[in-house]
Amino acid sequence: MTTTNAPSFSKVVLITGGTSGLGRSMCERLAATGHRVYGTGRQVKGLETLNAYHMVGMDVTDTASVNAAVALVLQDAGRIDVLINNAGLGIQGPVEDIDPELAHQVMNTNVYGPHRMMRAVLPAMRAQGSGVIINISSIAANFGLPYRGFYSASKAALDRLSEALSTEVARFGIQVVTVQPGEFNTNIATARLRPKQVSEAHRPGYEKAMEVLGGSMHYSRDPDELARVIARIIASPRPRTVYRVAEGVQKMSVLLKKLLPGRMFERMVRKHYE
């Protein structure tokens, strides 16, 4: 390991998608906490060292690129204690108008991407006999949100994958944690994938729902709030399986979904977006 004066609690942390939003905040916050941090970005070439942390070039949809980035971090730091699967894409559009190629793009980034990363780091974590994998899901994983069906589906799939993996790797001293953020102020909305065309039949409902979504006040939350929660998870000897970092109606809706009859909850969701 190349760091000689690292504090004793310092961990080697690899964060996918460190160029903006939640990932960049995590890089900054965890580096400031004393961890040895490696963020990733698709435009980064090889290994770059910034003031407080490192950046590695990597695309989660490309297995060779994932394996090369993980190998580079292992070579530089000697170990990976924490993997944070943060890189992700949003998608919007009526389910009927999303073609399979577009759907595959979001699943490839949000589900198969973390899967590639976990496969790449697990051998090293198993050999160490320790490790923490934090998968950044979304509060949207709990509901089929109108006109964001594939986003909800991708995050729900990631949650189930995390749950299953956790049962498989606990015996190796590896902990898997799911984090479901509510809405934070990042680039995710502008970067959302969209269908080329929205059909006439779906346009009124879609446009209204997007207007409601765009006007959501929750987008003002500072990404550093989430980064602080991540720092606490890393410091915890026994982290929970799921953390919901949301407030107000978003958090309450998870409980309501458990309590209300299915159609009643569905009507509530529809009413919110109409």
Ligand X SMILES: NC(=O)c1ccc[n+]([C@@H]2O[C@H](COP(=O)([O-])OP(=O)(O)OC[C@H]3O[C@@H](n4cnc5c(N)ncnc54)[C@H](OP(=O)(O)O)[C@@H]3O)[C@@H](O)[C@H]2O)c1
Residues binding ligand X (CB under 6 A): 16-17, 19-23, 41-43, 58-61, 86-89, 109, 136, 138, 181, 183-184, 186-188, 191
Shortest Å distance, C-beta 129 to ligand X: 29
The CB-of-158 to ligand X minimum distance in angstroms stands at 9
Give min distance, CB of 140 to ligand X, in A: 7
How many Å is the Cα radius of gyration of the chain? 19
**Which amino acid, 124?**
A
- For residue 38, what are its two tokens? 């490696």
Of the candidates 38, 53, 112, 151, the residue annotated as catalytic is 151
Is 88 buried (19+), middle (13-18) or exposed (0-12) by CB count in 10 A? buried
Tell the smallest beta-carbon distance from residue 42 to ligand X (Å).
3
**Does the active-site annotation cover 219?**
no
Least distance CB 20 / ligand X (angstroms): 4
Task: Considering the complex, state which of residue 22 and residue 198 has its C-beta at the smaller distance from ligand X.
Answer: 22
Query: Which residue number, 150 or 184, has a Cβ lying nearer to ligand X?
Result: 184
Secondary structure in 3-state letters for 196-234: CCCCCCCHHHHHHHHHHHHCCHHHHCCHHHHHHHHHHHH
* CB 183, min distance to ligand X, A: 4
Instruction: Rank residues 126 and 218 by Cβ distance to ligand X and give the closer one.
Output: 218
Amino acid letter, residue 156? A
Q: Which of the residues are catalytic?
A: 151
